[in-house]
Structure 1
Amino acid sequence: MTEELRAEVNTSLSSADRAVGGLGFVGLQFGLTLLVCASSGLIVVTILRNVSLSSQYFFWYLLNFVASIFVFRLAYLALTIGLLRKFAGTGISLVSSPDVCLFYLMIGSFYRAVMHMSVLLIALERYITILKPLTHCYILTDKRIKYSIASTWFIATCYTVGMVVHRYVYDAPGVIAGCNIEIYGIWKIYVSQMTVSILVFISVLAMYMHLHVIGRKHLRIIEAERRIFSLVRYQRSLRRSKVAFMITLQIFCLEVPVYILTMMYLMKAGQLYAKYAFLLISLGQISQPAFYALFSSEFRKALKKLMKQSAVQPLGDHLHVGSGRFRRDLRGEDAPGRF
């Protein structure tokens, strides 16, 4: 009888420890989410405040990527607040509702879809710029770039709508011990999205490899013809293409292990995989300004200038002025900076 009582006490204590540990991780999620939002806001202000950066289509796609991070983190923040309220009422901080799990899968799928398509469009924009050095300005127009950005959100929304349809087509499980892709048959959408992502990764790598080849070929031709002005512009385009490739490579190196850990969590319902994936992606998103400054000298100079000016001017003024410049139709003297 005494041993049974001790076992019950030990079980209750371990449950309490797990609950406190779960609450601590939820608090960590809350703090890291706020840091990611602050880091993403710094990127947005830096780009919008600088005329040269905000006039380049490459940074338009980066802004689109950062916007998806904002949406993902704000939705995740709402989920975290819900888990905190659940812990206050029940003492449990884990996802135990099918609808909450579906919401988590939807925001993750939406973010990955926008990210993958943005990476593809960055590579495509750089590829056309290098492949068509004389006519790319007629192909890559403001209107087409905006349509391509809107298409990333449309594709992401299609995945989300598909999950909502599955929610009403399939029966909901009673009680779940953890979030997994078998809920509402979501695994079918995940398989289709994973297939598209693999094709995107292969296409991007193929474009950058071919871009390197044609870039060196065109550079030799321009040097042989001794067109100094064209040579300077083309060398600048090649440097920006290298920056795009390095940032794309950094995104791939971060997102691939995160995606693998997320899939292991969803298939095995292992909370440890989810924690590792969240910490890894959070650290990567927080360090994004440092990566951009490391790879791009233009971004680094704009960031230094912003830091100097922020000492005498409120940060909100920078965003207001920069957004006005971003909306302006950039032609004339600022047009060459776009390429």
Structure 2
Amino acid sequence: METHEEAEFCFPELLNTSCLKPVVSQTNAVVYHILLFTFSPLTVALNLMVIISVAHFRQLHTPTNLLLLSLAVSDLFVGLVMMPAEILLKMTCWFLGDSMCSLYVFLGWLSVSASVGDMVLISVDRYVAICDPLHYTHKVTVKRVKVCICLCWFCSGCFCFGILNDNLTHPGKYICQGECVISISHVAEVVDLVSTFILPISAIIALYMSVFVVAVSQARAMRSHITSITAQRSGKAVAKKSELKAARSLGVLVVVFLICFCPYYCVYLAADTSVTVTVYFYASFLMYINSCLNPLIYSLFYPWFRKSVKQIFTMQILQPDSQNINIL
């Protein structure tokens, strides 16, 4: 049983304003250390591979890969800042002051918001590529994608500043010394829920359902065409493979996002009832793990990613004119 008598003050000299040190069970402490030393560096490493690959090799400077680069940057902040801070806050006090707490909270919200925005942009990119392939190169250009990425980060920053305005302008207003938490109104909670979960996931599902329908339709058209030319067996094999590929892509992209984000928002909505701090932590960390899975989902399945990782680890990217090699 965890009791306040077992805990010590974070700042013993400030008895009236100091928080109590977190009391962590041995089991939770082991789990926290495993999460800290496994997922945090793995998230940073995977996203750094994506960033270096896309930024270094000129052949990868395509609209889709620029979106992956933006996603990797936001996920990098999650692994570099959010994961370690979230775990350490459960094991010790916050000693960096109120201003650093406000900065940490803002960066955390910005990273998650930008990551969700990037996922929506990637969904739009793939929707246009599959549903309107003839006009894709004209509609989706590198310049337009750069503008969209900048707008995504700018809007995410404005959104986070608006939600956290009171916490940013009055750091430490709602907390004792030694904690780093935020306090937002119920209206702000609803706006955050709608803006960072309901609307994005609805858009992603709608876009990928359209992609799935078009992919299946194209597969059936291809089967009919092949049947009229070659053996029927061959056509069925090609169509079946296309349908399975479309279904797999839809499942991986949408289901993983739901698995990672739904528990957090379910706990978020029930925070005023019987949800414990430990449950809230694990739900939050599951959402952060999505940043570790994103490079695997969006990049690891690309052949160029494996080739670029090999180039990085063998230090061949340091060779002259390495940015111009054929990486595709």
> The TM-score by the shorter chain falls in which range?
0.5 to 0.7
Report the secondary structure of 1:162's partner residue. helix
Match of 1:194 in 2: 193
Q: Measured at CA, do residues 215 and 17 of structure 1 come closer, stay the same or move farther in structure 2, by a change above 3 Å?
A: closer
Report the secondary structure of 2:187's partner residue. helix
Give the drift of 1:139. 0.9
Match of 2:14 in 1: none
Give the drift of 1:180. 5.8
Aligned residues: 299
Match of 2:42 among 6, 10, 35: 35
Deviates most, 20-29 or 191-200: 20-29
Give the drift of 1:192. 1.0
Q: Is the 8 A contact 2:163 2:188 kept in 1?
A: yes
The separation in 1 between residues aligned to 2:127 and 2:286, in whole angstroms, is 30
Give the drift of 1:156. 0.9
Q: Is the 8 A contact 1:72 1:111 kept in 2?
A: yes
Write the deviation string for residues 63-114 of structure 1: whole angstroms up to 9, x where unpaired: 2111001233444378479969xx9xxxx52699776664454233212211
Q: Measured at CA, do residues 63 and 308 of structure 1 come closer, stay the same or move farther in structure 2, by a change above 3 Å?
A: closer
Structure 2: gaps spanning 5 or more residues: 9-20, 230-237
The separation in 1 between residues aligned to 2:105 and 2:152, in whole angstroms, is 18
Match of 1:6 in 2: none
Greater RCO, 1 or 2 (C-alpha within 8 Å, sep 6+): 1
Q: Measured at CA, do residues 272 and 101 of structure 1 come closer, stay the same or move farther in structure 2, by a change above 3 Å?
A: farther
Q: Measured at CA, do residues 308 and 269 of structure 1 come closer, stay the same or move farther in structure 2, by a change above 3 Å?
A: same
Deviates most, 244-253 or 63-72: 244-253
* 1:246 lines up with 2:243 in the alignment: no
User: In the alignment, residue 138 of structure 2 is paired with which amino acid?
Assistant: Y
* 1:63 lines up with 2:53 in the alignment: no
Give the drift of 1:142. 1.2
TM-score after normalising by structure 1: 0.65
User: In the alignment, residue 205 of structure 2 is paired with which amino acid?
Assistant: L
Identical pairs, percent: 17
Write the deviation string for residues 208-233 of structure 1: whole angstroms up to 9, x where unpaired: 2122223343555577778x9xxx9x
Give the drift of 1:134. 1.5
Give the drift of 1:310. 5.1
Give the drift of 1:242. 5.9
Alignment of 1:147-296 (within 5 A): 147-167=147-167, 168=169, 172-173=173-174, 175=176, 183=183, 185-196=184-195, 197-218=197-218, 243=249, 246-261=252-267, 270-281=276-287, 283-292=289-298, 296=301
Report the secondary structure of 1:175's partner residue. coil
Q: Is the 8 A contact 2:40 2:84 kept in 1?
A: no
- Of Structure 1 and Structure 2, which has the larger fraction of its residues in helix? 1
User: In the alignment, residue 59 of structure 1 is paired with which amino acid?
Assistant: N
The separation in 1 between residues aligned to 2:25 and 2:321, in whole angstroms, is 46
Q: Is the 8 A contact 2:82 2:108 kept in 1?
A: no
Deviates most, 15-24 or 41-50: 15-24
Q: Is the 8 A contact 1:118 1:152 kept in 2?
A: yes
Q: Is the 8 A contact 1:95 1:179 kept in 2?
A: no
Q: Measured at CA, do residues 41 and 93 of structure 1 come closer, stay the same or move farther in structure 2, by a change above 3 Å?
A: same
Give the drift of 1:205. 0.9
Structure 1: gaps spanning 5 or more residues: 1-9, 327-332
User: In the alignment, residue 187 of structure 2 is paired with which amino acid?
Assistant: K
Give the drift of 1:145. 1.0
Q: Is the 8 A contact 1:120 1:200 kept in 2?
A: yes
Match of 1:18 among 12, 17, 23: 23
TM-score after normalising by structure 2: 0.67
Give the drift of 1:127. 1.5
Q: Measured at CA, do residues 80 and 251 of structure 1 come closer, stay the same or move farther in structure 2, by a change above 3 Å?
A: closer
User: In the alignment, residue 157 of structure 2 is paired with which amino acid?
Assistant: T
Q: Is the 8 A contact 1:113 1:156 kept in 2?
A: yes
Q: Measured at CA, do residues 142 and 20 of structure 1 come closer, stay the same or move farther in structure 2, by a change above 3 Å?
A: same
Give the drift of 1:287. 4.8
